[in-house]
Amino acid sequence: MDLEDIFLARFAELTPDGLFTVVGGGISRINAASFPWTWGLMFLLARYRLTMEEAHRRHMLSIERETPNGQLEHVGPAFPMVNLPATPEIGPDGKFGFSLNYCMTNLVFSEPGVYKYRLKMDGKDVGEVKVLLAGPS
């Protein structure tokens, strides 16, 4: 499995053919007026290349967040990867493209610092994206 990209956005939509639309993609810093700070909606989008063997296995996905003080928090429950077509379209590299769009709601940031969002597949880290929460100056 190869990670192509992972990022945070204000909005992201996937279509059944694997194409995506993103608004406000690439969130890496949020300027907070005070703490705790809340953020209504944030989307995590990840794109992977899977071998045929990997694509035909049933995988469980989950997202965890690491706070600036090192505390680990689950972002929702673990969920199964979508069923892939019986005959998926293979790319020029001989692999199948898999995209994930995960909507996170009502996020609370209790302190300034770097928050890390990790995507896990079958309990193993497969991608990470960071966002800096900056406090008032």
In this prediction, what percent of the chain has a pLDDT beyond 90?
Answer: 72
The b/e string for 106-130 (b: 16+ C-beta within 10 A; e otherwise) is ebebeebeebebbbbbeeeebbebe
pLDDT at 97 over 90: no
CA angle at 76 for the pair 53 and 73, rounded to the nearest 5°: 105
- Token pair, residue 1, equals 């499995």
Mean pLDDT calculated for residue range 66-83 = 93
pLDDT at position 13: 95
Q: What is the pLDDT of residue 27?
A: 97
> Is domain 2-134 annotated with CATH 2.60.40.2560?
yes
Asked if 72 contacts 64 with a C-beta cutoff of 8 angstroms, the reply is yes
**Is residue 117 over pLDDT 90?**
yes
Q: Is the pTM of this model over 0.85?
A: yes
**Cβ contacts of 115 within 8 Å, gap of 6 or more:** 65, 66, 67, 68, 109, 130, 131, 132, 133
Task: Say what the pLDDT of residue 45 is.
Answer: 96
More confident residue, 137 or 30: 30
The whole-chain average pLDDT of the chain stands at 92
Tens digits of residue pLDDT in 24-68: 999 999 999 999 999 999 999 999 999 888 888 889 999 999 999
